[in-house]
């Protein structure tokens, strides 16, 4: 097991995804979005995201997760390592980001938050930077499932804003 997958395993354990059930799509989606949010919290795991059907997606993270799942059957090197206190602090900040409102599905919420952040800070906007109006229009164009949830979209925007993630790319 290489160092990047050891780190990934330690992070997954810390965020409650250490079991790595990759056979279920919703679990892979949660993995993608939580790692994205961990990274914008300041812990750079060196995963770079593209826009995909369900928002930000990193093919190399999926590849590493499947390799890690296979390696866990015979390699327990990760047990010799621990996360630094700084890494744990970054993860705790990420947990504040994805604090889910009552009666909202975690997958839905994570997809909304990661998509809003990505559209604000990573998506290309010709001319000026993306305004809130343009970002929300693009979100609804790409993800019509949020069209009938304007209050939830606004709540997601406000959550990112309160944490400083709309003005800044990360929480470092």
pLDDT digits (tens, 9 = 90+) for 26-40: 999 999 999 999 999
Secondary structure class of 51 (helix, strand, coil): strand
Angle between helices 3-14 and 85-97 (to 10 degrees): 50
> What is the mean pLDDT of the segment spanning 65-82?
87
User: What is the model's pLDDT at position 72?
Assistant: 82
146-150: long-range pairs with CB below 8 Å, 24+: 146/112
Secondary structure class of 92 (helix, strand, coil): helix
CA distance 37 to 89: 13
79 — pLDDT class (breaks 50, 70, 90): confident
CA distance 154 to 89: 27
Average pLDDT taken over every residue of the chain: 91
Domain spans of the chain? 3-162
pLDDT tens readout for residues 54-71: 999 999 999 999 999 888
27-31: long-range pairs with CB below 8 Å, 24+: 28/62, 28/65, 29/54, 29/107, 29/110, 29/111, 30/106, 30/107, 30/110, 31/61, 31/65
Q: How many CA atoms lie within 13 A of 28 on its CB side?
A: 17
Could you give the C-alpha distances from 148 to 56, 57, 63, 71, 151, in angstroms and in order?
Answer: 21, 24, 34, 43, 9
Report the predicted TM-score, pTM, of the whole model to 2 decimal places: 0.92
pLDDT tens readout for residues 110-142: 999 999 999 999 887 776 667 899 899 999 999
User: What is the model's pLDDT at position 90?
Assistant: 94
Give 52's strand partners: 55
């Amino acid at each position: 097991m290489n160092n990047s997958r050891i780190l990934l395993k330690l992070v997954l354990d810390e965020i409650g995804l250490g079991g790595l059930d990759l056979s279920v799509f919703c679990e892979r989606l949660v993995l993608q979005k939580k790692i994205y949010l961990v990274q914008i919290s300041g812990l750079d795991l060196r995963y770079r995201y593209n826009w995909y059907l369900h928002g930000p997606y990193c093919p190399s993270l999926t590849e590493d997760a499947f390799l890690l799942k296979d390696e866990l059957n015979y390699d327990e090197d990760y047990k010799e390592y621990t996360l630094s206190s700084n890494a744990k602090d970054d993860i705790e900040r990420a947990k504040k980001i994805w604090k889910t409102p009552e009666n909202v599905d975690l997958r839905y919420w994570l997809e909304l938050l990661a998509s809003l952040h990505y559209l604000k800070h990573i998506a290309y906007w010709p001319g000026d930077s993306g305004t809130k109006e343009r970002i929300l229009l693009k979100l609804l164009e790409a993800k019509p499932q949020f069209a009938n949830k304007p209050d939830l979209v606004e709540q997601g925007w406000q959550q990112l804003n309160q944490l400083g993630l709309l003005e800044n790319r990360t929480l470092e």
